[in-house]
Structure 1
């Protein structure tokens, strides 16, 4: 198993102690995109702009966020050459949720908190959907005693990563310019603003339901939050809805582990692997290394 990209020193940290506070840059970004989408979306609607929005939203989330940011950068479930890695991460930045360092921190802090005996509702997603979305779109969590985070030097010191982390919001400008040349303001509004806010809200909505009680055969021992699978949403969520599987086997590049669990992210990974562009593709660890897991039912069988 490859080492995680982020090391967390939580010696003095407590995931229950602290409170959500308004993150003003985050609130301005998401609030601005939401405002433009609500006002400009209807004003600049066209069927071509809608088609652009649907295709660009799906592909950027699939290739950039699910495959690049989540499965490659955060969980290290496969390796690639430098340029393939950078292309995948750049597409992930275009999604508009955060830069690479920001994605790592948000994901791994939440994952660390959820695997503790108890954590704040901000991480556990135990409030109502509207309250939780408000927190995730406009707030950050301010710890009384924050864990110390260290991103591995290969990533933290890479000039490319440092540049796009510092400029990730500005990376929408070349996209907007290209879309304006092709389709004018309707393409900019729907291909940038509507896409970004729908991607962000959609990401946190799936996260909310995946971390509340639901189907799934695996339990992570000692974890306060047990993830759920969301049947029927595999194609819509790029395979990310099989989150009970993912919490059990974060080292696996494939998240839809059972028959009928569609996983478009895995399809992309297989294509890249077949083309020789990626290698060392992770699989669920062997049964002898699953001491941290328990089956929810006695009749369930582990994945191959």
Structure 2
């Protein structure tokens, strides 16, 4: 899809979510042809002419000032993730260079891997914006075992597994929430990195092969994903629900370290201990028979 199409559909979808009452406007009559605000109402709230707002919603954000973008964001009551996405789309439309550090490519530094491995009591992994898992610690690999079919597999993609692998739905028991989170993260990354050919290739593959992904993608939802809770149905330890914290790595732009924990004394903490024991057993088997390929999941 083109940047103009993304802008048009994003703004139209956000406008459809805001009612006149939510915007503090009188709702004249009951026969409105649009589910949310009209274009002229957004223009009024943003303090721009109707013709100018129509031009913006047609995808022509190039040349729009930061003040105008902020006014439109306020009129549409965008949250932080949506505002950032709007600014990213404006930069892509104007073909302005994104004012961010160059995104990390190539192998992870050994020092980063050592930090990851030092987190011995928590499953943890490092991913990029495409949701490629680039590195894990022992518990992280054990938690995401179904994504790694054998010990020779070093990387995996969460979205591709979730939507294209038959085991994905079972592994993520809170399916609707997990589905929407994954798609929203990819949509956010698409705004940040519109020229990432690996990302556009992944999205094209998912749109083509998964109706569920295609439907969710069309909603143009975006989100920030820093902390929360996530459930897994692990093939060896059952359902476990963990707290997660996702931290950007400033020295490795574009990469995120995610760690999972559970409060001591809870069933989920017990499940983590069981996962650690399972991982130790798998490691022992690997040492005793290094040539074997261990099917996990």
Rg larger in 1 or in 2?
A: 2
Bucket of the pairwise TM-score, normalised by the shorter protein:
under 0.3
Q: Which has the higher contact order (CA 8 A, sep 6+)?
A: 1
Task: Tell me the TM-score normalised to structure 2 length.
Answer: 0.25
